[in-house]
Amino acid sequence: MTATPDIDASALWSDIEALAGITDPDRPWTRRSFSRLFLEGRDWLRAAFEAEGLSVRIDPAGNLIGRIEGRELPERVVMTGSHSDTVPDGGRFDGIGGVLAGLAAIRAMRAAGYQPRHSLELVDFLAEEPSEWGLSCVGSRGMAGALGARELALTGPGGETLADAIDRIGGDVARLDEARRDDLAAYVELHIEQGMVLEREQVPVGVVSGIAGVVRLKLAFAGEAGHAGTTLMSLRQDASLALARFQLAMRDAAIAAAAAGEGHFVATIGVVDILPGGANVVPGRAEIIIDMRAESSTLMTRQVALFRQLAEAAAAAEGCRLDAFTQISNVAPAACAPALREMIAVSAAERQMASRELASGAGHDAVFLSQIAPAAMIFVPSKGGLSHCPEEWTSPEEMAAGARCLLDTLLKADAA
C-alpha cells in the first residue's frame, strides 16, 4: 500500500447525482426494479464497477456483483452493497448511497495501492423495495436460499411471473441454487437512517444494533349495523368504536413496550376498512392491519398476545366481538454481528467522528445476509427523518463521512 486510503468525496457525490439522473422525469426519483430505467441504471453501475477494476457478473438471483480477487484468502469474501431500485417518487439515497459508498471505498483502496487479503465484492441487490410482484429483498433472499417456489410463482404486470422477470433482467432461475452463498466472511452495508435520531443528536455515524422483525396482523371487530338515525346511542354495537378503543390502548401499550428497555418497538395501524361504509349506517364491522416491529422476538411475541387481549376487551366494551385475529406475515429480527459493530465504532472514533448505537425499524437486505454471514450496518443522517419521498436528503459531507467509516470497517474486516 503506497498511501492511506481515503474517500474521494467529490467523486462519490458525482456518482450519486449521476445515478439519480436515471429516473422517470415526471416522478423523480423513480427507478423501479425490473423496469427499463432500472436496467439503464444497472448498465451505468456495471460501467462504474468495471472502471474501478472489478470483474462484474449477474448471479442467478439477479444480483449485480463486482469482485476483486483476494491475495491470500480469495475463497473468502468481504462484501458490501445495497440496492439501486427505488419506491415510486422515492429518493436519491435509500439503497443508492450504500452501493456508491461501497464503490467509493474500493476506489480509495485502489488509489492507495491496497491489495485485499480476502476477495471483495460490491453488490447491487435485486428489488430490495417491494416490487410489483409484492415481494421485497428478492436478490438477498436468493443469496440466502430464501427464494422458493411460492415466491417465484408470484405474478406481476401482464401476468409475468417473478421467475420470468428475474430471468428477463439477467438472472437464471434454473440455476438459483448457485446464487446461495456460504463463502462470506463479513457483510457491511451503509444506509441512510430514514429516521431523525442521528440528525437530532448531531451524530454522523449510527452503529446499527439490529434490524427489527416485522409481524403483520389482520383484525376484525364485529358489531351490528343499524340505521344512524333510529338506533339509540345506548343500544349500539358500533364496531368502529371498538376499533377506536383498541387503537388508543394499542398506542399506549406500544409506548410502554418501547420504554421498557428491551429494544426498538413500534406498532402502526395503516389500513382501516369500516363496513358497510354508509354515512347513515352504524358500522357493523371494522377491519384493520397492524404493522408491528420489534428488535426482540420475545418482546414481539409478548406484544402480539397483549394486543389480542386489548382487542377482546375493546370489543366487549362496545358490545361487539373480536371476529378475526390473524397473523399474515412474520419476519424475524436480525441482530448485527458484535465484532463488526465494534469495528464500525472504532473506525468512527479513529476519524474523530461521534457514533451511537441504534436499531433499524426498516427492513434491509442485511436481514437476509445475516442468515448466512456476520453482518452489520452503518447509518448516516437523514434530513428531517424523511425517506421514500423526493425530499429525502443526506448532505455530501454526511455521505462522505459515512463512506470513510465504511472504508475503514472494510479494511478491518479484511485484516481480521
- Enumerate the known binding-site residues for allantoate: 216, 280, 293
Single out the residue of 363, 388, 384 nearest to residue 88, CA to CA: 388
Residues in Cβ contact with 127 at an 8 Å cutoff, skipping those fewer than 6 apart: 33, 34, 62, 83, 85, 133, 135, 136, 137, 138, 139
Please name the helix (run of DSSP H) or strand (run of DSSP E) that holds residue 416, with its range, or none.
none
d(Cα 14, Cα 25) in Å, to the nearest integer? 19
Single out the residue of 241, 50, 79 nearest to residue 144, CA to CA: 79
- Return the bridge partners of 155, or none: 161
The grid coordinates of residue 71 equal 491475495
- Enumerate the known binding-site residues for Zn(2+): 83, 94, 129, 191, 388
Tell me the DSSP string of 196-227.
SHHHHHT-SEEEEEEE-EEEEEEEEEE-B-EE
The grid coordinates of residue 14 equal 458525482
Helices (H) and strands (E) in the chain, counts: 12, 15
Q: Which residues of 93-124 are buried (b: 16+ CB within 10 A; e: fewer)?
A: bbbbbbbbbbbbbbbbbebeebebbbbbbbbb
- Enumerate the known binding-site residues: 83, 94, 129, 191, 216, 280, 293, 388
CB-based contact 205:348 (threshold 8 Å): yes
